[in-house]
């Protein structure tokens, strides 16, 4: 037992000594002599050794990080504004009806119990790729509760939006913008090269969120046609081992025709579990590609460097996850709903007139 106590005591002494050393180091460290004052010019944020530092110099290569902070602040402001809109506008209507806000929503907006059809439930499960074997009665109840809550909120939002038709809400804060130059280059694309709006997507064939993004792209294509150009760039993530081979294979299909690429693209995203070499060959055939040429292209790893260049360029402009879109240079991270993209597209189309 004695050696154990000796070890314990030595450990305590070492820990105390380490703490004292750290405290001594902290005590000896000098603080920088920084004086806060009004800027001599609007664009100047600091002065070092007599040299004026501009906002652009301060941000430097952290441009994307600063933009994301501003975007998060903007999104939070919008959420808070939405909450206040609901409180104020519905509150005014509730007061006229001599009801509380909650009573008014239940009686005049929602109008009874919210029901979810089997078709809507099955669609929700399919879109989110929830395995059927995981859906026990408790999980199903939680999903239904979530869907009812979402449907209730959608009904409230629609009602509030209707109230603003004759009583518009004035907003005095601006949406942050950051123009990122993204060249389409030799990437697969559809839509007119003269389109007023160009969307460049960085995606990963094995990423489930990218599958949702692909559905959104289909909706964009259906609604806007040649008014919008969409380009696909590859950003296979390290945790998805099948993504990079799929990307290389897709470019082998693309060299036989852009229309074949998009068919191959759609097939991959419909069933992301089928990405073996044999699966990719079958998908290429289903897309209308010449299988012999496809196999030769894949075996030679003809597009390995092309994929790497997409990834390197993506990292350089701030892509950190998939899917990431650039709508006329404006970054959109994540598989946002179609309506979010439609709002941005409509704004860009209106500005181009």
CB 85 within 8 A of CB 164: yes
pLDDT given at position 28: 54
- Cα separation of 138 and 145, whole Å? 11
- Cα separation of 220 and 214, whole Å? 10
Digitized pLDDT (tens) for each residue of the chain, 353 residues in all:
444 444 444 444 455 445 444 444 444 557 899 999 999 988 999 999 999 999 889 988 788 788 889 989 999 999 999 999 999 999 999 999 999 999 999 999 999 999 999 999 998 988 777 888 889 999 999 999 999 999 999 999 999 999 999 999 999 999 888 778 888 999 999 999 999 999 999 999 999 999 999 999 999 999 999 999 999 999 999 999 999 999 999 999 999 999 999 999 999 999 999 999 999 999 999 999 999 999 999 999 999 999 999 999 999 888 989 999 999 998 888 888 898 999 999 999 998 88
Tell me the CB-side half-sphere exposure of residue 78, using CA atoms within 13 A: 9
Kindly report the length of the chain.
353
187: left (phi over 0), alpha (psi -120 to 50) or beta: beta
Could you tell me the residue ranges of all domains in the chain?
Answer: 82-163, 189-352
CATH architecture classification, 189-352 = 3-Layer(aba) Sandwich (3.40)
E strand spans, 157-298: 189-190, 197-203, 228-234
Classify residue 63 as exposed, middle or buried by CB count within 10 Å of its CB (0-12, 13-18, 19+): middle
pLDDT given at position 79: 95
Q: Which two tokens stand for residue 118?
A: 């089997």
- Cα separation of 339 and 219, whole Å? 10
Nearest CA among 137, 159, 157, 161 for reference residue 149: 157
What is the dihedral sign for C-alpha 295, 300, 305, 308?
A: positive
Nearest CA among 269, 275, 259, 260 for reference residue 214: 269
pLDDT given at position 165: 94
- Cα separation of 344 and 346, whole Å? 6
Query: Quick count: other Cβ atoms within 10 Å of Cβ 32?
Result: 4
CB 104 within 8 A of CB 90: yes
Question: What is the Cα Rg of the chain in Å?
Answer: 28
pTM: 0.69
Nearest CA among 188, 1, 163, 190 for reference residue 82: 163
Classify residue 165 as exposed, middle or buried by CB count within 10 Å of its CB (0-12, 13-18, 19+): exposed
CB 149 within 8 A of CB 126: no
């Amino acid at each position: 037992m004695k050696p154990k106590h000796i070890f314990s005591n030595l450990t305590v002494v070492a820990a105390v000594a380490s703490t004292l050393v750290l405290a001594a180091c902290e005590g000896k460290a000098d603080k920088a002599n920084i004086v806060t004052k009004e800027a001599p010019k609007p664009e100047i944020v600091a002065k070092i050794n007599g040299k004026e530092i501009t906002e652009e110099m301060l941000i430097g290569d952290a441009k994307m990080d600063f933009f994301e902070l501003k975007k998060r602040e903007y999104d939070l402001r919008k959420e808070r504004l939405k909450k206040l809109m609901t409180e104020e506008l519905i509150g005014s209507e509730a007061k006229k009806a001599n009801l509380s806000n909650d009573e008014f929503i239940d009686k005049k907006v929602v109008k009874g119990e919210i029901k979810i059809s089997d078709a809507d439930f099955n669609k929700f499960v399919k879109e989110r790729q929830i395995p059927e074997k995981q859906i026990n009665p408790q999980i199903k109840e939680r999903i239904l509760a979530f869907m009812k809550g979402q449907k209730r909120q959608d009904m409230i939002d629609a009602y509030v939006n209707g109230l603003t038709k004759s009583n518009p809400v004035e907003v005095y804060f601006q949406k942050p913008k950051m123009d990122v130059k993204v060249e389409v280059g030799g990437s697969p694309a559809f839509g007119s090269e003269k389109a007023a709006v160009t969307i460049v997507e960085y995606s990963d064939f094995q990423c489930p969120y990218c599958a949702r993004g692909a559905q959104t792209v289909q909706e964009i294509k259906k609604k806007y046609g040649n008014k919008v150009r969409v380009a696909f760039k590859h950003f296979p993530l390290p945790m998805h081992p099948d993504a990079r081979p799929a990307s290389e294979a897709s470019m082998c299909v693309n060299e036989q025709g852009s229309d074949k690429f998009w068919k191959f693209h759609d097939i991959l995203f419909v069933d992301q579990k089928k990405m073996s070499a044999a699966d990719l060959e079958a998908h290429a055939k289903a897309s209308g590609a010449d299988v012999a040429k496809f196999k030769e292209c894949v075996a030679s790893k003809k597009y390995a460097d092309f994929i790497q260049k997409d990834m390197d360029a993506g990292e350089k402009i701030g892509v950190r996850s998939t899917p990431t879109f650039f709508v006329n240079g404006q970054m959109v991270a994540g598989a946002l709903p179609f309506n979010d993209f439609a709002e941005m597209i409509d704004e860009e189309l209106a500005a181009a007139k």
